[in-house]
Structure 1
């Protein structure tokens, strides 16, 4: 801390700067509000895989009969579907999950992640 002896007022000479303490309330409130915002506000296109990568993964999943997790855009919501690719058509793929069978448009698939299954 620098010397403030040149200042005319005693209160100014003795002032102790609390450094970041005065900003903590601001940063805490900003952090809390950022955590409460839904993650969907971020652009889906930023997090989406490239179409060529998705196509390659879909064909590999179909050929090897492996299970994957698909992040799917339904209107304005995001949903997750875990299943196997059982059918590939022009613009849709068939995904069989443990609960149901769905056809999903290729454009609605944002990400594909391989799921490790444990055989019992």
Structure 2
């Protein structure tokens, strides 16, 4: 097949065809495929942000080191956990028995094993 460029649109050369309607046929391209967009596609798109990114998991040593530095300096941090997509924002008030007490909008205890990463709030 031979393609000719007409203003950025590529057309198939159909000059060899005997019927005028076949020679002048313009393919609609991707428009004809939009009918195949089914409910499963819509559902998948709506759930695209509903996962937790474990690819940026910090090592246990990094987590413990950063926790101790943040605790000593009373810095505000974002704590990303394995059980919630959004991070917790707050200041580490206590470190005890493999967990931290984070005071902030919603005070809570977080176990070290549940922490994916910690980011200083001022870095964002």
Shorter-chain TM-score tier: 0.5 to 0.7
Alignment check: 8 A CA contact 1:85 1:93 kept: yes
> Structure 1-normalised TM-score?
0.67
- Show the counterpart of 2:61: 52
| 2:32 pairs with one of 10, 15, 22 | 22
Cα deviation for residue 115 of structure 1 reads 1.7
Unaligned runs of 5+ in 1: none
Higher fraction of helix: 1
Alignment check: 8 A CA contact 2:100 2:110 kept: yes
> How many aligned positions are there?
112
Cα deviation for residue 25 of structure 1 reads 5.3
Alignment check: 8 A CA contact 1:73 1:79 kept: no
Cα deviation for residue 72 of structure 1 reads 2.4
| 1:67 pairs with one of 59, 76, 79 | 76
Cα deviation for residue 105 of structure 1 reads 0.6
- Show the counterpart of 2:104: 97
Q: Which has the larger radius of gyration?
A: 2
Alignment check: 8 A CA contact 1:83 1:98 kept: yes
